[in-house]
Amino acid sequence: MLEIKLCANCKRSLSRKDIDAGHAVYQEDGKLLCRECLTLKIKKEKGYEEKDFVLESLLNEVKNINRTLTYEPASWLIILASVIQCFVFGSLIFAYLHRNSDVHAYLLLSLVFQVMALTFFVIKK
């Protein structure tokens, strides 16, 4: 016969395997607590508050996020491509400001700068 037991605090169902594996513990008063509720109870007995748990879990999550971030090494080609990208923007502004005169030269210059920047961005990959 299948016997389902519940945690006294969170009412999560605990099987016999959970109890045997140590994921649930009986208390002195006969209540069954899961591992999460037991650690919460121990921390409360030691004088921690709920906001400390939240702040501690947020800190752990930020540390985990920081560990998973990968940084690309900077090369001189990527820096050069970024500077050339700024020239593209500048030449497009000049083309807009001088739209009544020969705008094709500025647009062609911005096109050349853009192709150079894309080439430098992709050349290391």
Highest mean pLDDT among 12-16, 55-59, 99-103: 99-103
User: For all residues of the chain together, what is the average pLDDT?
Assistant: 77
Cβ-count burial of 64 within 10 angstroms (0-12 exposed, 13-18 middle, 19+ buried)? exposed
- Whether pLDDT at 1 is above 70: no
Band the pLDDT of 98: cuts 50, 70, 90: confident
pLDDT at 101: 84
- Whether pLDDT at 94 is above 70: yes
Q: What is the reported pTM?
A: 0.41
Beta-bridge mates of residue 25:
33
Residues 6+ apart with CB under 8 A from 80: 120
pLDDT at 71: 65
Residues 6+ apart with CB under 8 A from 125: none
The three-class DSSP label of residue 25 is strand
Q: Specify whether the CB–CB gap between 40 and 53 falls below 8 A.
A: yes
pLDDT at 61: 77
Summarize the confidence of residues 87-114 as an average pLDDT.
Answer: 90
DSSP letter for 30, please.
S
pLDDT at 111: 94
For 13, the enclosing helix (H) or strand (E) is strand 13-14
Which tokens sit at 62? 């930020």
